[in-house]
Structure 1
């Protein structure tokens, strides 16, 4: 039996981590769900750079502040406010039939959300090997009578193999994302962001800060090798996907306003 991961700060959503084991979890199953209650009160979700083209159609893409910036999809402009998922963690951007079953959904759900409750983690700090772990407090995995098996005998089921592959691809995307952000920083293209929104009837505008964004003026000034680098590497369309997505901030603000959840005037740092 594998030893448990060493204590360390847990990522967003995760309350605990336990390695998946054919000995301990031989009879465990995964049951489907149409809700993500763990997501209900979160307003900023990590995003990989490869998701920018899909995500920019629905949500603002920003970067956290500070030297270790990461891309974030904004689900709300204030901490604890999520305009796309309700209190039960059900996606509101869907069409349901009379029984409540989703029959149409065009909303893009970031991979970070779809990955939960699984995670590739090092079981020992000095090890390079990553093991498939999960959050045992999640209500979708356990010793259920119903659901899909995680193991067939002592071998991982096809479902578990698919989960492992998804997590492997997510880790690789995370590495490419970190390199993308590093290149933005090396080119000095990230700056502190600010958005001002004048709401109807408000005496003062709502000013949101505490995030980073690409400096479009500096981007347009790039010449020579620097410009050639971001064009040839495929960075340029991803940068513009981020910049185009910022127009969604006003849509998120409008949704919060309709929900009666405008809190201002400043965005809590989503890092």
Structure 2
């Protein structure tokens, strides 16, 4: 979540509010306002998910992990910041779940971070509770002739209110995720891992991706008291969903082979996820 100053968060300010910091996937984030966007609307872009066609991973919230783990390898950002992410590709320039027309794979779970786009939330500097709706002004579907208006009769439209509500719920889930992940850090469960695969005819397994995941030995070595603490915090389903999801590395290899028309050996060579 990005931040704005207390003065910027006040609706009566005469100074145009500014976004500080960077937002993943947002080229030109702007705080939604009647003055700047009162005559604009939003339609689906020609390539609905073209904005994320070249990413290889996307953030998840804890509530998304069980569903996302059915399709994607779910790993963690780092040992120091063990936030969950869904892996979407093996190379930095190809999301294997977005086709050339910019459509997402049918029936595959779409992470909330992407579903909320081109909207997001910004909170005031200093950790205050006030939040505002942010929009990527570079989104292709924004125009004065779009069918879904952002403002009607000088007030935020129902469409914009729905976007506000969705981003509010997502932000609540994101904060909960940060709280839950502190337990993984507390018990030192997240460590660097290497994904390996043995192509047909190969004499040995080949490493093709580096990531951060749960150390099963450390998990199994937890005391009964520690294990109970994780269970009470509802962390165990997250850990097991993560471990089960690692079987989806094979799914990514198959998708890469099919998409690029290459062999198994070629699919597991090249740039690695780190």
| Range class of TM-score, shorter chain | 0.7 to 0.9
How far 1:223 sits from its partner (Å)? 2.3
Q: Unaligned stretches of 5+ in structure 1?
A: 95-105
Q: Secondary structure of the equivalent of 1:164?
A: helix
Counterpart position of 2:135: 134
2:16 partner SS: coil
Alignment partner, residue 32 of structure 1 = 44
Instruction: Give the helix-richer structure, 1 or 2.
Output: 2
- Alpha-carbon RMSD: 2.0
How far off its partner does 1:170 sit? Answer: 0.9
Structure 1 CA distance, aligned partners of 2:204 and 2:224?
A: 43
How high is the TM-score relative to the length of structure 1?
Answer: 0.86
> Are 1:71 and 2:84 counterparts?
yes
Q: Secondary structure at the match of 2:210?
A: coil
TM-score by length of 2: 0.85
Distance 1:177 1:256, change over 3 A: same
Note the 1:77-88 alignment, pairs <5 A: 77-88=90-101
Counterparts in 2 of 1:143-222, with a 5 A limit? 143=144, 145-202=145-202, 205-222=205-222
Aligned to 1:119: 120
Helix, strand or coil at the partner of 2:220: helix
Measured in 1, the distance between the counterparts of 2:255 and 2:60 equals 21
Residue by residue, what CA displacement relative to the aligned partner does 1:207-238 show, whole Å, maximum 9, x if unpaired? 13432101122212222221111112211111
Match of 1:99 in 2: none
User: Matches of 1:72 and 1:168 in 2, distance apart?
Assistant: 20
Q: 1 CA distance for matches of 2:126 and 2:114?
A: 28
CA distance in 2: counterparts of 1:120 and 1:20, whole angstroms: 10
| Structure 2 unaligned blocks of 5 or more | 1-13
> In the aligned structure 1, how far is the partner of 2:254 from the partner of 2:117?
29
